[in-house]
Structure 1
Amino acid sequence: MSSEISDPDDDHAAEVQVARIEDEMEQSYIDYAMSVIAGRALPDVRDGLKPVHRRILYAMHEAGVTSRASHRKSSSVVGETMGDYHPHGDSAIYDTLARMAQDFSMRYPLVDGQGNFGSVDGDPPAAMRYTEARMAPIAEELLADLDRDTVDFSSNYDDRLEEPDVLPAAFPNLLVNGSSGIAVGMSTNIPPHNLGEVIDATIHLIDHPDCTVEDLMEHVPGPDFPTGANIVGRNGVYKAYKTGRGKIRVRAEFEVDEEDGRIVITELPFQQNKSRLVERIADDVNEGTIPGIRDLRDESDRDGIRIVIELKQSAMPDVVKNQLLDNHLERTFGVINLALVDGAPQVLTLKETLQEYLDHRREVVRRRSQHELEEAQDRAHILEGRLRALESVNDVVEIIRNATDRDAAKSALREEYGFSQPQVEHIVAMQLGSLTSMEAEEIEREYEDIQARIERLNEILEDESELLGVVEGELREIKEEYDDERRTAFVEDDGTVTHEDLIPEAEMVVTMSEDDYIKRMPLSTFTAQNRGGKGIIGTDLKEGDSVSSVFVANTHDLLLVFTTHGQIYELKTYQIPEMSRTARGKSAVNLLDLEDGEEITAVVNTDELSDEQYLTMVTRGGYVKRTCASEFGHILSTGIRAISLEDSDELVDVEVTDGDTDLVIGTRGGMSIRFDEEEVRPMGRNARGVRGIRLEESDRVAGVAAVDPDRHSWVLTVTENGYGKRSDIDAYRVQSRNGKGLIDIKTNERNGEVIGIATVGPGDHLVTMSRGGQIMRTRVEDFSIVGRNTMGVTVMEVVADDRVACMEVVPAETIDPDDDE
């Protein structure tokens, strides 16, 4: 019978497993990711430490480098940690050690360092051979009771030693010192907090297990950064505590000294590099981004941060302050409260974080109490044996003396009195001096104390409320020992620094051309001139283009912009690009969604507008309409309808009225009509309106003016050939609407047609602009008061081919006295 001999190659082949490479790659990557997540990058929710932090502290504990010992070379600590517990590079261990010693990185440093451990300027620590370290006192609270079976231990990387899986942690270190780290596919960023506040919240949770995050925030209002500074608003903090994620704005602490013209920065946002901050501010000054700064000095020393910013005399401190806030003095701290819970990453709310710590601390106290109970019971058992031996001391001594050796003595005692083995071990080892009455009394007292201790430990283990009472008491002791004042304050500001805050308030002249080029220029660019001059260049027009409108507004004004097609848009003045007089402007396509041939015809400032007022509109065809201002509260970026137009009609002008105003409508042909606005009932946005003036066939409306009953005013009329006049308002008697009206100004060949009409008062200025781009600013008092139906005087000299295109009145209250000299 032949036997089969197996081929060795077949045996090896039987061990081969078929696997898809994508499955193997996926599983290998998952294993790697979990290794990084659990073994390096994320802190444990119980003690708030990553493995490297825990191993450094444990290595120092084992080496006796406590707060009461002398400092040890950092290289020695790093070597002990790397050799016994953390099999990674020494630079990673030393970087962690150095950070635990930095009072600007850790709210409560865990390492007491000597030497150069870096600075807020980003300077690196000195080499580990030059620095020394030992545990800080508060770090010892994390390791307290480690030898009392309070936590589990695991073998180190080479199975020679054991290391703790977690530290007992007598305070909630995860929140107190925070943590940051980047794992695979996730990251954590937990801000530091004030120790006393966190402990108060933990105690509140013990006493009120059903409390809410809002309740806990009464004790923990927000993070408390080691560098101080200010948290802006509370919404971000609330969201972070409620959901585990949120964005917190942190603002530097500074003082604006307007008298000396300086801004002094004394505290920086957490993790902001001071040296880099100063460099970036200097770069912005050199590039002209922040033009109001003349000098910048870093006067910081060991006593604290002090950055002095000297301002130019012409600078506006608030504007410079807001520019600094927008670009340099505010940072966003993105909170991601991610930690390991039972070895798995989890995003936690404030309550969940404290609850996980509390569960851990409850288990630590339970295990410690159980350990101490067993020790106490063992000791009580020994003391019971010694006390029984003392009761029959003569017989016991006689038995020991008659025994051949120690083992025989032990056996005899066990047989005679029923002692246990541990008891006879101690009895045989007793010295003669312990047989005195005084020693006997000491043993008796110790036994009573031990019995009381056992009773107390049993209470703790059997009653949950007693156990939690121990946890609470120890937390209060930690607070009493290490609590300090909050460093980070709150600034009650729910908004961000907007672009508007960076723009100084100033009156601006805004021009727009028929080809939709728009720009703004400071009104101060155009000083008041005597009437009759040519003015100065206000814009550089391309060939074939001409000016279509001009208006004056403050940079911070929110404007309602009306167009000839009856649309209304919303626009901030500062959104219009500021340019020089000789610049053409920028295309308005990104600001206003205008159609071909559509032009701006009127602008209303919403800062002077209330819901009780009306927007009164007139069309080229003589129609007038009043609409309540409240109907224009929600304007789309693409604009909304302000008035319905028919028969190729156009919107010409808009005035703000209050229901008790007279209206004066002026026509291109020099006619005018004055009537009470109540003759025009309020209508919706889609209405056409009613007829305000009956026009001659070739005539059309030039504009409308509202008569302020509380202000002495005149009617100012300007024509296209540069002429105009000022007439007393009483010269325009009140009529019923839809009449032909009265002659306002002669519109002969010299004057040309009327281009605008307005009511003006003392101190007002008139701004006129020609189609060719010339602009002129004139005091209204330069015009003599004349009656209606007159020729008027020269307002602005225009060349033969040019015409006055538009006019705008600048109210006296907005005029800078320096511009009126």
Structure 2
Amino acid sequence: MGQSLLPPSGGDDHIEPVDLKAALEERYLAYALSTIMHRALPDVRDGLKPVHRRIIHAMSEMGIRPNTAFKKCARIVGDVIGKFHPHGDQSVYDALVRLAQDFSQRYPLVDGQGNFGNIDGDNAAAYRYTEARMTEVAALLLEGIDQDAVDFRATYNEEDEEPVVMPGAFPNLLANGSSGIAVGMATSIPPHNAHELCDAALLLIRKPDATIEELVELVPGPDFPTGGIIIDNKASITEAYRTGRGGFRVRAKWVVEDLGRGVWQIIITEIPYQVQKSRLIEKIAELLIARKLPLLEDVRDESAEDVRVVLVPKSRSVDPTIMMESLFRLTDLENRFPLNMNVLSMGRVPRVMSIFDILTEWLQHRREVLQRRSRFRLAAIERRLEILGGYLIAYLNLDEVIRIIREEDEPKPSLIKRFTLTDLQAESILNMRLRSLRKLEEFEIRTEFNGLTAEKAEIDALLASDEKQWDTVASEIGEVKKKFAKATELGRRRTVFADAPDTDDAAIHQAMIEKEPITVVLSQKGWIRALKGHISDTATLQFKEGDALKFAFPASTTDRILIVTTGGKVYTLGGDKLPGGRGHGEPLRIMVDMENDQDVLTAFVHNPARKVLIASAAGNGFVISESEMVANTRKGKQIMNVAMPDEAKMVVTVKGDQVAIIGENRKLLVFPLAQIPEMTRGKGVRLQRYKDGGVSDIRCFTLADGLTWSDSAGRSFTKTAAELTEWIADRGTAGRVVPKGFPRSGKFGG
């Protein structure tokens, strides 16, 4: 037991104890930074993640340009993982495939030949079968890369070099969008229209302090490769672009196709971005089988190259808008694309940027690229001018130059000494081929010299003037705008904007439920169930031992059932959500949060056009509209304030112009309905005054028709307006003893 668990200490093990917490923090932070910087987040300047940048750079190194022949993707992937990106071949090929998919990329960077997958979610063919080359967009991103436009760094094995960022003549980050999950942060940028982005960039060059509102006028929202309709309002889109966070609700594009004789079907021609068509149709079919879409008869996929999904309605009388609204709520025909413009600012700092910040940083990068390319060209001109100066001296002294080269052992120092040449000039003269001598004419040398001198002056002026630099950047952006103008097939706006139609929520709710007749049954002990069909004979219903029927009423699955308790609370249950008729149902208290000391007073089918009179045992009450009684949560909605021992006692449908109320003391009072206020919650007003006891029954009626009641034998009695005179008084009075022949139960009956 006394043995040490530590390994025996050798003289040269170099084992150092490390604090686990510190080590984990340090290493996890290193991993997190690596993921953020070198994997998941795009650079704001070229909109590319490292894997995409390396794919394009490898294609550039292999000479695979837009106008060259296609090359096997296997070769491209091999070069990428061999030279620049030491990761799995499949991950690199997946990234390459995505760059070629016109339904994933708004402006594809790769031109693919072969099977590159489809909108149904089918995979691309293996990379030994497919071929690829660059598109014009990728060529624009690379423009000037061989002219010192950007910095290069050593590759992972330090055998080669790769660009830190692309020159990026195309506004790729916003035009193609990006999405990625790093550690503790993510990015999600939808694609946009390049023509609109160029307009916004040109506005920022003219007016660097332009507002987000002005930019949104030019870039009204995303432009998805798969089209669709954005149904957000302008204010929320503007706010999303201002903060860099938000989202866009995208809906499928649909039309009603007339088949003649009043028969029609709906054709979906565009679906939301990144929704797999096959999965979408499967989901609709599943809902159809589950009978969640009662307005829909069938769904068919008739797509070929384009999207054509056919939705067949149950009948020609179905409202197409309500049918589509129910589908939008239940399926991915409406989808939310999140906006989280979290990118690497200047390639170093991850931060969430507004559209203004992104376009401004892209413009700064374009200006820096212009300056670097100009300096590179300037250095090349100066070198050529120096060489031309040497050639001119050689032309003017050709015989002497030939003599020195022929006779001197070391011609270079002799030429430098004899004609005061620079090292470069002497080297250039010595490296000339003999065939070049015939071209060595003073006129040609001077023409090239003057042309280059003029170009040098232009570049010097450009580098000295901010205004000229911005003019040049603007003209370059203008060229990109022309190439991807909205008049072109690739450049036309695909996603449109529209307001969501104003539709009745209740109608849509009903459209999602199969309408079937049911009978709602509630037992004395609070067990609820829904039997199929309308059952008139409730005597056959079975209950648990010691339980019995409280009430049963007809309804349909599309109805909402209102349940009122003695505590003055209302709960709402959907007819389709009630437990089935097999067995005894379920306790109501499981379905809603009902207090233990309360009981169910009544339940009925919700009718928003109806009003009811609710009264407490003590004789207080008020009128409430049923539309105010709907409760959207399990907790229910308190409508009548009652304190024990008082409780809610009656709920009566409001009709006519008078209220007749009977107390347990068998006194009847008739007063105008107008004397009871309409409220949404409260204690109510005094309906009838009692010395002891409380309310027994209430009925609303029309005075002109008289007051009717029925006795225990089922016989009806009616008192006319004239006969009721002695009982008519104001609300809150005690009333008079009921007329002769009134039922002993103290109820109006019937």
Q: What TM-score comes out, normalization by structure 2 length?
A: 0.80
- Quick one: distance in 2 between partners of 1:334 and 1:716? 64
Q: Which residue of 1 aligns with 2:267?
A: 264
Q: Which residue of 2 aligns with 1:804?
A: none
Give the 3 Å change call, closer, same or farther, for CA 647–145 of structure 1 in structure 2. closer
Give the 3 Å change call, closer, same or farther, for CA 551–128 of structure 1 in structure 2. closer
**SS of match in other structure, 1:12:** coil
1:346 equivalent in alignment to 2:351: yes
1:470 equivalent in alignment to 2:472: yes
Give matches, 1:108-257, under 5 Å: 108-234=107-233, 237-238=237-238, 240-256=240-256
Q: Which residue of 2 aligns with 1:333?
A: 337
* AA aligned opposite 1:305: V
Which residue, 306, 312, 315 being the options, matches 2:314?
Answer: 312
**SS of match in other structure, 1:249:** strand
Q: Which residue of 1 aligns with 2:493?
A: 486
In the TM superposition, residue 168 of structure 1 has moved relative to its aligned partner by 0.8
In the TM superposition, residue 115 of structure 1 has moved relative to its aligned partner by 0.8
* AA aligned opposite 1:599: V
In the TM superposition, residue 110 of structure 1 has moved relative to its aligned partner by 0.9
In the TM superposition, residue 556 of structure 1 has moved relative to its aligned partner by 7.0
* AA aligned opposite 2:302: E
Q: After alignment, is 159-168 or 281-290 more displaced?
A: 281-290
- Quick one: distance in 1 between partners of 2:338 and 2:236? 9
**SS of match in other structure, 1:367:** helix
CA contact (8 A) 1:622 1:693 kept: yes
Q: After alignment, is 615-624 or 35-44 more displaced?
A: 615-624
**SS of match in other structure, 1:75:** helix
- Quick one: distance in 2 between partners of 1:635 and 1:293? 27
CA contact (8 A) 2:264 2:316 kept: no
Q: Which residue of 2 aligns with 1:36?
A: 35
Give the 3 Å change call, closer, same or farther, for CA 162–180 of structure 1 in structure 2. same
- Quick one: distance in 1 between partners of 2:20 and 2:579? 64
- Quick one: distance in 1 between partners of 2:492 and 2:707? 67
CA contact (8 A) 1:520 1:577 kept: no
In the TM superposition, residue 152 of structure 1 has moved relative to its aligned partner by 1.0
CA contact (8 A) 2:54 2:84 kept: yes
- Quick one: distance in 1 between partners of 2:201 and 2:523? 67
Count of equivalent residues:
716
Give matches, 1:252-651, under 5 Å: 252-256=252-256, 259-302=262-305, 304-313=306-315, 316=318, 320-328=323-331, 329-341=333-345, 342-383=347-388, 393=396, 396-397=397-398, 399-400=400-401, 403=404, 405=406, 418-423=420-425, 429=432, 431=436, 433-434=438-439, 440=443, 442-483=444-485, 484-493=491-500, 501-504=508-511, 512-518=522-528, 525=534, 542=544, 543-547=546-550, 563-565=565-567, 567-569=568-570, 571-572=571-572, 574=574, 577-578=577-578, 586-589=586-589, 590-591=591-592, 593-600=594-601, 607-608=608-609, 617-623=614-620, 637=635, 639-640=637-638, 642-644=640-642, 648=646, 650-651=648-649
Q: Which residue of 2 aligns with 1:778?
A: none
- Quick one: distance in 1 between partners of 2:227 and 2:180? 22
CA contact (8 A) 2:223 2:495 kept: yes
Q: Which residue of 2 aligns with 1:766?
A: none
CA contact (8 A) 2:559 2:605 kept: no
Q: Which residue of 1 aligns with 2:660?
A: 665
Q: Which residue of 2 aligns with 1:768?
A: none
**SS of match in other structure, 1:652:** strand
**SS of match in other structure, 2:209:** coil
Q: Which residue of 2 aligns with 1:775?
A: none
**SS of match in other structure, 1:450:** helix
In the TM superposition, residue 120 of structure 1 has moved relative to its aligned partner by 1.7
- Quick one: distance in 2 between partners of 1:255 and 1:330? 15
- Quick one: distance in 1 between partners of 2:111 and 2:572? 56
- Quick one: distance in 1 between partners of 2:179 and 2:636? 45
Give the 3 Å change call, closer, same or farther, for CA 628–156 of structure 1 in structure 2. closer
* AA aligned opposite 1:295: D
- Quick one: distance in 2 between partners of 1:511 and 1:702? 24
CA contact (8 A) 2:659 2:672 kept: no
- Kindly provide the CA deviation profile for residues 344-378 of structure 1, in whole angstroms up to 9, marking residues without a partner as x: 43333333333332332222122112112222333
CA contact (8 A) 2:663 2:690 kept: no
Give the 3 Å change call, closer, same or farther, for CA 462–509 of structure 1 in structure 2. farther
**SS of match in other structure, 2:380:** helix
Q: Percent identity?
A: 33
- Quick one: distance in 1 between partners of 2:177 and 2:678? 62
CA contact (8 A) 1:266 1:307 kept: yes
CA contact (8 A) 1:539 1:582 kept: no
Q: What TM-score comes out, normalization by structure 1 length?
A: 0.74
What are the ranges of 5 or more consecutive residues in structure 1 without an aligned counterpart? Answer: 1-8, 527-533, 757-794, 796-821
What are the ranges of 5 or more consecutive residues in structure 2 without an aligned counterpart? Answer: 1-8, 486-490
Give the 3 Å change call, closer, same or farther, for CA 719–595 of structure 1 in structure 2. farther
CA contact (8 A) 1:66 1:135 kept: yes
Q: Which residue of 1 aligns with 2:650?
A: 652
- Quick one: distance in 1 between partners of 2:377 and 2:383? 10
CA contact (8 A) 1:618 1:704 kept: no
In the TM superposition, residue 68 of structure 1 has moved relative to its aligned partner by 0.6
In the TM superposition, residue 97 of structure 1 has moved relative to its aligned partner by 1.6
* AA aligned opposite 2:594: D
- Kindly provide the CA deviation profile for residues 732-752 of structure 1, in whole angstroms up to 9, marking residues without a partner as x: 559322263696794347xx5
**SS of match in other structure, 1:133:** strand
In the TM superposition, residue 301 of structure 1 has moved relative to its aligned partner by 0.5
- Quick one: distance in 1 between partners of 2:386 and 2:561? 87
Q: Which residue of 2 aligns with 1:754?
A: 747
In the TM superposition, residue 622 of structure 1 has moved relative to its aligned partner by 4.6
* AA aligned opposite 2:640: A
1:88 equivalent in alignment to 2:91: no
CA contact (8 A) 1:644 1:688 kept: no
- Kindly provide the CA deviation profile for residues 490-522 of structure 1, in whole angstroms up to 9, marking residues without a partner as x: 342499998973424989986655433456789
- Quick one: distance in 2 between partners of 1:340 and 1:705? 72
CA contact (8 A) 1:261 1:312 kept: no
**SS of match in other structure, 1:35:** helix
Q: Which residue of 1 aligns with 2:729?
A: 736
Give the 3 Å change call, closer, same or farther, for CA 224–554 of structure 1 in structure 2. same
RMSD of aligned residue pairs (Cα, Å): 4.5
- Kindly provide the CA deviation profile for residues 84-129 of structure 1, in whole angstroms up to 9, marking residues without a partner as x: 2222232222222222111111111111111111112222111222
* AA aligned opposite 2:659: V
- Quick one: distance in 2 between partners of 1:665 and 1:513? 30
Q: After alignment, is 277-286 or 126-135 more displaced?
A: 277-286
- Quick one: distance in 2 between partners of 1:117 and 1:681? 70
- Quick one: distance in 2 between partners of 1:163 and 1:663? 90
- Kindly provide the CA deviation profile for residues 784-810 of structure 1, in whole angstroms up to 9, marking residues without a partner as x: xxxxxxxxxxx6xxxxxxxxxxxxxxx
**SS of match in other structure, 1:221:** coil
Q: Which residue of 2 aligns with 1:785?
A: none
Give the 3 Å change call, closer, same or farther, for CA 541–380 of structure 1 in structure 2. same
- Quick one: distance in 1 between partners of 2:647 and 2:667? 19
CA contact (8 A) 1:265 1:306 kept: yes
In the TM superposition, residue 718 of structure 1 has moved relative to its aligned partner by 5.5
CA contact (8 A) 2:658 2:673 kept: yes
Q: After alignment, is 113-122 or 378-387 more displaced?
A: 378-387
CA contact (8 A) 2:188 2:339 kept: yes
In the TM superposition, residue 754 of structure 1 has moved relative to its aligned partner by 2.5
**SS of match in other structure, 1:53:** helix
In the TM superposition, residue 419 of structure 1 has moved relative to its aligned partner by 4.6
- Quick one: distance in 1 between partners of 2:465 and 2:11? 63
